Structure 1
Amino acid sequence: MSATSGINTSEELTNAFGNAVDSGTVRFLKISIRNGSLLEDFDKLGEVLEDNEPAYILAKHDEASTWLAIFYVPDSAKVRDKMLYASTRNNLTKALGSTHFTDNLFATSKADVTADAYKKHIAHLNAPKPMSDWEKEMATIKAAEREAGGANYEGSRARRNPLGSSAMGFQWNEDAEIALKELAEGQDSHLVVLAIDPQENISLHSAIPGCSPAVLGSSLPASAPAFAFLAWPHNITSPPRREIVFIYSCPMSSPVKSRMLYSSGFLATYRAGKVVLGDAAQFLAERKIETSDPSELNEEFIKFELGLNTPVTSGTSTPLAKDDDKKAFARPKGPGRKR
């Protein structure tokens, strides 16, 4: 004798069969068994769970082949059982295959394993994450900017990354880009000094047309880090050229946080500046100048750093010995014998 499945007929089927009997004109009725939903079946769990005995329940989701792991540990259960079930739940899911279980539900009473309780659980998972007042304010501002900018919005033009929205590095304020473009379009000496503002964007510190290497050191901040682009016309090379030099100045007296911040954005700022320079980027020196003392920056220092002259040896250097003056190799004495 086979056991019954426990599946009941629906009210819709009962009414349809009654109408078929009454009409006398219906020949066939096709009846199919359809799977119930997990939400509908949740209320059945209360019938199989004990008030004081913990249990694990594995429930299959309606879609795909994913499962829900329910850990039922009543508050009234024995302390030993609580500890035993708590220390075993990870072993259970790992042994059966953790990839099959996409969600967990922890219950301490039968009221936690009802359809209403499961609805609240799903709503909690889908709810937006809590945000601080500052995060809410920023989200509101971004939403307003996005709505004003339309579908192609990529952030305010006052704060954009020349390397692209997906590139690493600081955003550039518009005044910094304009100043560097003016340097690129000119023919004379020109200095653009950039700084990182409190919002961690690249901003314009100062732009000095006609700035020569002779006054470069005094044109940079003496106690704060800075990035600078110097346009320097010279006739050291043949033919003469207008060199554009990238300088990173980080005085030793700078705050540690500022030194770390500028150091992390050193290469990204150089690459972004290269993009802003456009066609003038061909004159950007590959060598970058770094200094911890802005006062040492002058024309001779720049020449040396860019390899445009031969370094001068100091007067204290020892001349190389001639081959005739070389002494024969003297074998060192070994350690003395112990007595």
Structure 2
Amino acid sequence: MSHRSGIEVTEDIKNDMARARKGDLRVLQIIIENESLKAGACLAPKKKWEEDFDEQLAPLTESNPCFYAFYRLDSKSSLGYEFILFSFISETAAVRDKMIYASTLSAVKQAFGGGYISKEYTINSASDLTWKGHQEQIQLDEEDGPLTEAEKMKEEIKRLETTSVTTKKETVAGLTFPVTSEAVAALKEFAAGKVDYVRLAIDVKQEHICLEQTDIFAGSTTMFSGAVSTTSPNYHLFKFKYEHNGKAYKKDCFVYSIPSEVTVPIKEKMLYASCKASFVSALGNFIQNENLLSIEIDGPSEVSQQALISHIHPQAEVKKGFSKPAGPASRRPRTKRT
């Protein structure tokens, strides 16, 4: 799974970053708003960096549940001033916001310049962004040893992907993203053979997986393709009935559809992509998913009968034998001497 959101760093943000690297700013706060990076607080240094910490950095948590903050130290490296990069992602923030901040971090760091960043912290509590909390974090780092950048990203993405707390939804083993009771009932009906098609969606606002449609298509791919939306993503379960080489088959299919003809919001794409693997795994609570066909499509034409059969029974590639190339036409036959 890709962990990049696709959000790009604008020229305005790059200009603010240049001001910070020059030394004009003690704090450069960057927030994500309407799937774009925007500058928040841009604060000039007043005192020593230790003394500015509580006065300039700590108050930022009061107005934003998530943000990045480049905090300028008074020390310099060969490149210039050194910075601490804080990624503040509050535990109370929406799951989709947590995901998008975690996956945009790499782009922000690259634009600023990793050589200027001496330390990096991902924090979830406002108390961790105080001078006292920062000193405690430094002490923990010295005891545990620092994580590599790859380890930090892996841990943060893993933590965010497993964030889901709600008492009004059902819990499905292996799937931590909440599922409505109607969706669970539909999965059970599919497993029992009462329906052969189920369409599910992620409610981005409510942050749960919900049921959109169940039906009996009798294995018809024509009816299935008609149920694939051209305007929004979905998860589909379909029991495919077909013939191949004179034999009749049945195949359970999981299809993740993400339309290519329209622009799907980045947050919505991320939620679908990040939940897909755990959802397919959790289907094992309802159906035998060892032989489940799992594919991703961008339009209804990709679930035609022939298209699905080609996924299930891919044609073996015929390897051509090596033919020795003929010699030049003008070459005379070699004469054997006796």
Task: Report if TM-score (shorter chain) is over 0.5.
Answer: no
Query: TM-score if structure 2 supplies the norm length?
Result: 0.43
Larger Rg belongs to? 1
Query: TM-score if structure 1 supplies the norm length?
Result: 0.43
Structure having the higher strand fraction is 2
